[in-house]
């Protein structure tokens, strides 16, 4: 079994950590009580994945709480503020579709990640299912929900290019993954009477993206909130 | 019913193979597919189940407690349906 | 639910009532379709609803710390706990629903201030240690209150409570463990823990409600076996449990009058500030406004989502009907 490169564990671990955090922001604000349960479940699944992945690299808390913004390797997609429910569902659809395809492929491998991926793939399949069901209901629900859902999809579209950037140390057929992802998203959106966004999938700035430690402005604030207590008591145990 | 009112569903959970589905409670959901998912999140988040049924509460027809006598009493005087009715000599096993 | 009703009206009210009383007296459960006195039904709806509201309002002071939890382990525990509270709210709303009052109606009563929730949640969680104090003291008091409810005379409520109590046992433990880690941690952490306990102790004692001689609903509720122990009895039990626990935490309880009474074999404690209790109940607690307004906002901002899902479901039904008609044609 080949050891998992730290860069890959960090990238995947940070994705899960940051998205879990953003979903955690819904606690007490979900549109209906049943959804409090669902969003918390997804958040907990992701946090569990993050803890395993980060622990492969070092101490989970040191990595989560003591790194600076530029050292995080998560996608910009997952760090965006939660927005309204449609926004959150749009992100869930984009991300869980990607994560499922990726983890399915990783689960077939023989490295340290295969075992983790084969457990996570079941969780992720459920996240995908949740996102798909809500995309259908919001897209083909009322005029307002349709418009909000389309808006969420459009707004996050520009963060989807980066999703398919190869991660160092993972042998994944990225072009095929991207193709399948695009097909799946198109299929769901069509069923949901929504339109595939047409704008650019990335931005014009070539400084890099989340995988290179280049993040968006809201991320710094998110980390400030997440890390402040831990950092206020250096060396303390919790 | 206002448009934001979701109907009520009764939830039945099979906790493990070999057991029947047991009523666990109820919940609200817009449709059956969501009811199943909500039930999974609400009633099995500590792995309490391996299979779930959801039924619209309005689809359940119940006997009335007032007809308890006519409905259930006839069964009450047929003790021979219960194994404890029969006296078995001591020492006889596997019966 | 529809019922096959046999010839109703054969039995008169008195016979119904006699049967109801006998069932309660025999310590058997009353079930949703049984006859019950109107006042029993009303009293249960009020109590279960208040309990359900407390669960969902109670999510807020703890959710306040999810994004700042100082370790990933603590964060996972806290998310799971707040999630449980939403779940407990749902169990209880469905128990209330069996009495004929729907969740939307109950939520509306909460949002418009016609129904209450436990006033403990009108206090703020100012530091991380408050998450521990809420778990240890607030959940501890709640469990003391709730365990007897598992034997409440109304079946659906009792069953909901069995499930809730089972799940809540981890809530109190995690709070205790959290405080212990702080108490044994750095000086600053220890001080944080002590400060939280100082602030939460008295409000926790108030959770058991006014003293027995002032409690309006108690006598009837006890007779109906909705309630099994008096407010003061439960409060005493709670104090007796907490005193040794505080000691093993290495923390003190903020009551100079606290002492062991050999004769009664109970702890004696100082006077509770019932004026503060009444004021908070009246809406003048530090967070009354904030809690209810957040709840209302979440509900209002979620309206379009609930509408969308209902609309989608209606469209699906219509489509199916359409397809079926085509098949027949």
Cβ of B50 under 8 Å from any chain A Cβ?
A: no
- Under an 8 A CB cutoff, do B31 and C94 touch? no
- Residue C30: DSSP 8-state: B
- Under an 8 A CB cutoff, do A141 and C72 touch? no
A 140-199 near C (Cβ less than 8 A): 140-142, 144-145, 148
Mean pLDDT of the region A132-158: 97
Q: Which residue in chain A is spatially nearest to B27 when comparing CA positions?
A: A34
| pLDDT over threshold 80, residue B31 | yes
Mean pLDDT of the region A85-99: 98
Integer Rg of chain B from CA: 20
Q: Looking at CA atoms only, how far is residue C88 from chain A in angstroms? A: 10
Cα-based distances in Å from B71 to B80, C4, C20, C30, C40 = 18, 11, 19, 18, 27
Question: How high does pLDDT run on average in chain C?
Answer: 92
Chain B residues near residue A37 by CB distance under 8 angstroms: 38, 41-42, 45
H or E element at residue A9: helix A6-24
Mean pLDDT of the region C191-219: 91
Q: Looking at CA atoms only, how far is residue B7 from chain C in angstroms? A: 9
Q: Looking at CA atoms only, how far is residue A151 from chain B in angstroms? A: 22
What residues make up the domain containing B63? 3-85
Are C79 and A43 in contact by the 8 Å Cβ rule? The answer is yes
| pLDDT over threshold 90, residue C321 | no
Cβ of C5 under 8 Å from any chain B Cβ?
A: yes
B43 assigned to some structural domain: yes
- Under an 8 A CB cutoff, do C76 and A48 touch? yes
**Residue C212: per-residue pLDDT:** 87
Q: What's the N-to-C CA distance of chain A in angstroms?
A: 35
The domain ranges of chain A are: 6-232
Mean pLDDT of the region A4-33: 95
Confidence of residue B74 (pLDDT cuts 50, 70, 90): low
How many domains does the structure of chain B reveal?
1
**Residue C7: per-residue pLDDT:** 47
Q: Looking at CA atoms only, how far is residue B3 from chain C in angstroms? A: 5
In the block, which residue shows the tokens 């949703």?
Answer: C32
Q: What is the distance between the alpha carbons of residues C274 and C255, in angstroms, rounded to a whole number?
A: 15
Tokens at B24, concatenated: 């666990």
Q: Which residue in chain A is spatially nearest to C188 when comparing CA positions?
A: A233
| pLDDT over threshold 90, residue A65 | yes
- Which top CATH class is C19-276? mainly alpha
- Under an 8 A CB cutoff, do B28 and A32 touch? yes
C 47-76 near A (Cβ less than 8 A): 56, 59-60, 63, 66-76
Confidence of residue C226 (pLDDT cuts 50, 70, 90): confident
**Residue B17: per-residue pLDDT:** 92
Phi, psi (degrees; rounded to nearest 5) at B90: -60, 145
Mean pLDDT of the region A1-9: 78
| pLDDT over threshold 80, residue C215 | no
| pLDDT over threshold 60, residue A153 | yes
What does the pLDDT look like over B34-67, one tens digit per residue? Answer: 999 999 999 998 888 899 999 999 999 888 766 5
**Residue C169: per-residue pLDDT:** 83
**Residue B3: per-residue pLDDT:** 52
Interface chains of chain B (3 or more CB pairs under 8 Å) = A, C
Confidence of residue C249 (pLDDT cuts 50, 70, 90): very high
Which of C79, C310, C311 to probe by mutation at the B interface, max B CB count within 10 Å? C310
Cβ of C4 under 8 Å from any chain B Cβ?
A: yes
**Residue A15: per-residue pLDDT:** 98
Q: What is the distance between the alpha carbons of residues A34 and A133, in angstroms, rounded to a whole number?
A: 14
Task: Tell me which residue in B4, B45, B60 faces C307 most closely, judged by beta carbons.
Answer: B4
B81 assigned to some structural domain: yes
C 175-214 near A (Cβ less than 8 A): 178, 181-182, 185-186, 188-189
Mean pLDDT of the region A95-124: 92
Phi, psi (degrees; rounded to nearest 5) at C19: -65, -45
**Residue C3: per-residue pLDDT:** 52
Cβ of A183 under 8 Å from any chain B Cβ?
A: no
What does the pLDDT look like over A212-228, one tens digit per residue? Answer: 999 999 999 999 999 99
**Residue B1: per-residue pLDDT:** 41
Least confident of A68-77, B53-62, C117-126: B53-62
Mean pLDDT of the region A107-120: 87
What does the pLDDT look like over C265-312, one tens digit per residue? Answer: 999 999 999 999 999 999 999 999 999 999 999 999 999 999 999 999
B95 assigned to some structural domain: no
- Under an 8 A CB cutoff, do B25 and C4 touch? no
| pLDDT over threshold 90, residue A78 | yes
| pLDDT over threshold 60, residue B86 | yes
Chain A residues near residue C183 by CB distance under 8 angstroms: none
Contacts of C267 (CB under 8 A, 6+ apart): C236, C239, C240, C243, C258, C259, C260, C261
In the block, which residue shows the tokens 């008295």?
Answer: C202
Four-way CATH pick for A6-232: 3.40.50.1970, 1.10.3470.10, 1.20.1260.10, 3.60.21.10: 1.20.1260.10
Task: Tell me which residue in B27, B37, B41 faces A133 most closely, judged by beta carbons.
Answer: B37
Task: Tell me which residue in A41, A133, A137 faces B41 most closely, judged by beta carbons.
Answer: A41
Cα-based distances in Å from C125 to A232, C173, C177, C192 = 18, 18, 18, 12
Chain B residues near residue A129 by CB distance under 8 angstroms: 37
The domain ranges of chain C are: 19-276
Cβ of C102 under 8 Å from any chain A Cβ?
A: no
Q: Which residue in chain A is spatially nearest to B4 when comparing CA positions?
A: A32
Phi, psi (degrees; rounded to nearest 5) at A129: -60, -45
Cβ of A2 under 8 Å from any chain C Cβ?
A: no
Q: What is the distance between the alpha carbons of residues A45 and A99, in angstroms, rounded to a whole number?
A: 13
Q: What is the ipTM of this complex?
A: 0.96
Cβ of C320 under 8 Å from any chain B Cβ?
A: no
Q: Looking at CA atoms only, how far is residue C15 from chain A in angstroms? A: 41
| pLDDT over threshold 60, residue C8 | no
| pLDDT over threshold 80, residue A206 | no
Tokens at C166, concatenated: 């089972």
C223 compared with C261, residue with greater pLDDT: C261
- What share of chain A in percent tops pLDDT 70? 99
| pLDDT over threshold 60, residue C10 | no
């Amino acid at each position: 079994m080949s050891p998992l490169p730290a860069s890959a564990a960090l990238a995947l671990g940070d994705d899960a950590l940051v998205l879990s955090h953003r979903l955690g922001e819904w606690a007490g604000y979900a549109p209906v009580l049943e959804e409090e349960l669902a969003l918390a479940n997804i958040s907990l699944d992701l946090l569990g994945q993050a803890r395993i992945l980060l622990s492969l690299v070092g101490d989970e808390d040191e990595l989560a709480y003591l790194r600076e913004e530029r050292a995080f390797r998560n996608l910009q997609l997952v760090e965006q503020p939660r927005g309204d429910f449609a926004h959150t569902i749009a992100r869930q659809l984009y991300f869980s579709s990607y994560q499922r395809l990726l983890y399915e492929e990783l689960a077939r491998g023989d490295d340290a990640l295969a075992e983790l991926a084969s457990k996570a793939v079941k969780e992720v399949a459920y996240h995908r299912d949740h996102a798909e069901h809500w995309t259908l209901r919001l897209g083909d629900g009322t005029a307002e929900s349709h418009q909000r859902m389309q808006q969420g999809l459009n707004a996050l579209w520009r963060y989807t290019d980066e999703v398919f950037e190869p991660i160092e140390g993972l042998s994944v057929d990225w072009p095929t993954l991207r193709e399948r992802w695009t097909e799946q998203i198109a299929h769901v959106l069509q069923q949901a009477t929504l339109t595939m966004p047409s704008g650019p999938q990335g931005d014009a700035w070539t400084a890099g993206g989340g995988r290179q430690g280049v993040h968006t402005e809201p991320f710094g604030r998110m980390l400030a909130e997440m890390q402040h207590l831990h950092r206020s008591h250096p060396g303390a145990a919790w | 019913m206002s448009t934001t009112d979701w109907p009520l569903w009764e939830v039945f959970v099979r906790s493990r193979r070999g057991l029947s589905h047991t009523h666990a409670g109820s919940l609200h959901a817009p449709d059956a597919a969501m009811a199943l998912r909500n039930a999974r999140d609400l009633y099995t988040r500590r792995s309490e189940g391996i299979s779930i049924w959801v039924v619209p509460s309005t689809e359940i027809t119940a006997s009335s407690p007032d007809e308890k006598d006519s409905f259930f009493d006839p069964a009450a005087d047929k003790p021979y349906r219960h194994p404890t009715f029969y006296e078995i000599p001591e020492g006889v096993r596997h019966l | 639910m529809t019922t096959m009703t046999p010839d109703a009206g054969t039995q008169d009210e008195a016979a119904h009532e006699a049967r109801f009383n006998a069932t309660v007296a025999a310590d058997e459960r009353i079930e949703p379709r049984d006859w019950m006195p109107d006042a029993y039904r009303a009293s249960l709806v009020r109590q279960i609803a208040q309990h359900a509201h407390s669960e969902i309002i109670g999510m807020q002071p703890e959710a306040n710390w999810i994004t700042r939890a100082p370790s990933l382990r603590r964060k996972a525990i806290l998310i799971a706990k707040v999630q449980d509270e939403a779940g407990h709210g749902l169990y209880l709303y469905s128990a209330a629903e069996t009495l004929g009052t729907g969740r939307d109606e109950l939520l509306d009563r909460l949002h418009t201030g016609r129904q209450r929730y436990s006033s403990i949640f009108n206090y703020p969680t100012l530091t991380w240690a408050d998450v521990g104090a809420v778990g240890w003291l607030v959940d501890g008091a709640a469990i003391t209150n709730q365990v007897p409810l598992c034997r409440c005379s109304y079946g659906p409520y009792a069953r909901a409570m069995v499930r809730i109590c089972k799940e809540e046992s981890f809530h109190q433990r995690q709070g205790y463990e959290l405080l212990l880690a702080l108490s044994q941690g750095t000086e600053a952490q220890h001080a944080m823990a002590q400060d939280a306990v100082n602030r939460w102790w008295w409000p926790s004692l108030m959770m058991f409600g006014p003293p027995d001689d002032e409690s309006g609903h108690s006598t009837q509720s006890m007779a109906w076996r909705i309630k099994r122990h008096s407010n003061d009895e439960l409060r005493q039990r709670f104090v007796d449990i907490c005193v040794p626990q505080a000691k093993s935490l290495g923390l003190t309880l903020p009551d100079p009058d606290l002492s062991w009474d050999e004769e009664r074999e109970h702890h004696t404690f100082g006077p509770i500030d019932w004026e503060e209790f009444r004021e908070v109940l009246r809406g003048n607690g530090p967070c009354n406004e904030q809690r209810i307004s957040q709840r209302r906002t979440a509900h209002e901002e979620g309206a379009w989502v609930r509408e969308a899902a209902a609309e989608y479901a209606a469209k699906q039904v219509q489509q199916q009907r359409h397809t079926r008609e085509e098949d027949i044609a």
